[in-house]
Amino acid sequence: MEQYEVIFLDDDRKTVLDHQFVNSGEPVKYKGKTPSKEPTNQVTYTFNGWIGEEKMVSVQEKLILVAKYSAETVTTAKDENALLQASLENAEKTNLNATIEAGQKVSEQSKALEKDSRTAEEIVNDVIENGKTEIGQEVNKDNIER
C-alpha cells in the first residue's frame, strides 16, 4: 500500500509541528499539542485549524498543512479609560461651544434691543403687524401665526 508524507507547519511555513506518513486514502489527524502564537502589539492569536484541512479526510498525495490563526485586538482597561475620557472631553467641548454660541446670540439680541427704544411688547406687536421676526429682518406676513 502506498504511503504519503504529511507535514504540519506553523504559519511561518518553516516550523514543523508534526510529521507523519499515512496510507493512501486514510485520514490523517494532527498529533501534536494545539498550535499557539505569541501575542504582538496588543493582538492575540487563536488557532483556527489548517490551510488545506479538507484533504485530511482522505490522503491522496503528499500534504503540507499550515496552521491558521485568527487575530483579536486586546483593549486594556487603560485603553478603554483613555477612550472614555476622550469622549467625555469631546462632549464637554461640544456643550461648551453650544453654550458660548447661545450666549453670543443672546448678547447680540440684547445689544440690538438696547439700540431700539421700544419695549418688548412694542417689538412683539411690530413683528405681528409689520412682518419682522428680528430687528431689521423682513418676513412674509402670511407665514406669521397670530
Convert 46-81 to b/e letters by CB count within 10 Å (16 or more is b). Answer: eeeebeeeeebeebeeebebbbbbeeeeeeeeeeee
The pTM (predicted TM-score) of the whole model is: 0.52
- Contacts of 97-104 with CB under 8 Å at 24 or more apart are none
Domain boundaries, the chain: 3-73, 76-115, 117-146
User: What number does CATH give the domain 3-73?
Assistant: 2.60.40.4270
The tens digit of pLDDT for each residue in 98-145 reads 677 767 776 676 666 666 667 767 777 777 777 655 555 554 555 555
